[in-house]
Structure 1
Amino acid sequence: MPLSNQDIKRLRRIGHHLKAILIFGDKGLTDNFVEELNLRLEDHELIKVKVNAETRDDRADIVTALCQKSGAELIQRIGNIALLYRAAQKPNPKLSNILRYQDA
C-alpha cells in the first residue's frame, strides 16, 4: 500500500534525527548486507543507510536496488543518505523508531 503525503512527511520528521545505522561500501550488494538490512528494517522499521558511491547516478541505482531487495520504500534521499521504511511484522516498542517517536 503506497504511503500518503502525510505519512511521508511524518516519517521524514521522525527520520530527521536518526543516524545512519548501515553503511553501503566497497563490497557491493552482498547477501550479508541484504540480510543485515532486512534485520534492521524489521527491528527499527525506519532507518538511514549511508551509500558510498562515486556518482549521483550510482547512488541512485544502489538505493533503488536496496529498496527492491528489501521491499522497503524510499522516504527521502539527500546526498549519500537514504531514509528507508518498511513496516515490521511484529513491531518491538523498544526498537521501532515509529513507535518510539510517534509523537514527533
Structure 2
Amino acid sequence: MSSTLQSRLEHFLTHRAHPKTFCPSEVARALSSQDLTAEGAKEWRELMPRIRQILWEMRDRGEVEILQRGEVLGDHVGIDDVKGPIRARRISGHE
C-alpha cells in the first residue's frame, strides 16, 4: 500500500468530519506531480483503482463508509460490484 496515498486519504478523512464526505478523485487530484511520479503515474486518473482499493480495505477494517448516490454501501458490496462515482467518509466516532 502506498504511504503517500494512505496519508492523503487520512488527511481528507481527518478534515471532513462525519457526516461530510469526499470523492476519491479529490485525493488523486490533490497529488503533486512529484507524488504522481513517485506512484508511477502520469495523471491522477491512473491512481483511482488503487485509491478505491485502499478505501475498501479501510471499510473492511471498520474505518470508513463508502457511499453511492447518497446511500451507504453494505459490507456485502464488493469493489467489483460498484460502477460509477463513490464518496467516502470516516465512520462516526472513529477518529
Q: Do they superpose with TM above 0.5?
A: no
Pairwise TM-score range, normalised by the shorter structure = 0.3 to 0.5
Q: Name the TM-score, length of structure 2 as normaliser.
A: 0.35
- With a CA cutoff of 8 Å and minimum separation of 6, indicate the structure with the bigger relative contact order: 2
Q: Report which of the two has the higher share of helix.
A: 2
Q: Compare the two structures and name the one with the higher strand fraction.
A: 1
